[in-house]
Amino acid sequence: MLKRKVAIVTGGTKGIGKGIADAFSKEGARVIILARTKSPTKHHFIQCDVSKKQEVEKAIAEIIKKFKKIDILVNNAGIFPFVPFEKMTEADWDKVISVNLKGVFNCTSTAMPYMIKQKKGKIISIGSIAGAFVGFPNLVHYCTTKAGIMGFTKGAALDLAKYNIQVNAIAPGAILTPGVKDGLSKEVTAQLIQTIPEHRLGKPVDIASTAVFLASDSSQYITGQTIVVDGGYTDQ
């Protein structure tokens, strides 16, 4: 479905990002991963902090020089440190905003001109049910950024539709990633599973398969949407 497409996946060395990168590659795409920390990967890797516009611009320039185009951008990089709101500092707030929300702007605004020039492109941002659909304790900053991604997606979709660029988001529920494993105890995880109609945590492949569809030509008439993938959690 993605043969010869050039796809950028931010934060693609683990978890959901890795799942998406691997799925894109399996479908024939040439995948470039942007991440702050280098990890073993079979994909082309560029070290980049998405919260810093200058680093993003340098990375995108390198991609254009090597691959000549950008067909797909997946804004996946994100952090979610658990901090009770009453103890949250301005530094805590700024750190999450700069990666989760400013990072989406930095990458999209830098890749966008190349998509406009070729009059075609797919922009997919990984949001969350947190913030956009439900609240979660100790994650006020994270919830704010993910709700922001939903609004960003709708606004950008309208501005870029005339260039044949589709802009969508995916809102995962509880997905079994290294971050979730580290952040939740076994007891809390078991309790969480009981609240999900499908009685399991999602897997990165559940998000990756949705991303493949949104990145393909099969989704040409879908834009500005946030697709919820949460095992029915928000249907209750």
Active site residues: 142
Strand partners, 30: 6
End-to-end C-alpha distance for the chain, whole angstroms: 34
What angle (nearest 5°) sits at the alpha carbon of residue 170, between those of residues 168 and 175? 165
Token pair 């989760």 is at which residue?
100
> Each residue of 61-74: b (16+ CB within 10 Å) or e?
eebeeeeebbbbbb
Q: Which of 230, 8, 6 is nearest to 104 (CA)?
A: 8
Tokens representing 33 are 């991963």
* Residues in contact with 155: Cβ distance below 8 Å, sequence separation at least 6, in sequence order: none
* Residues in contact with 144: Cβ distance below 8 Å, sequence separation at least 6, in sequence order: 97, 101, 131
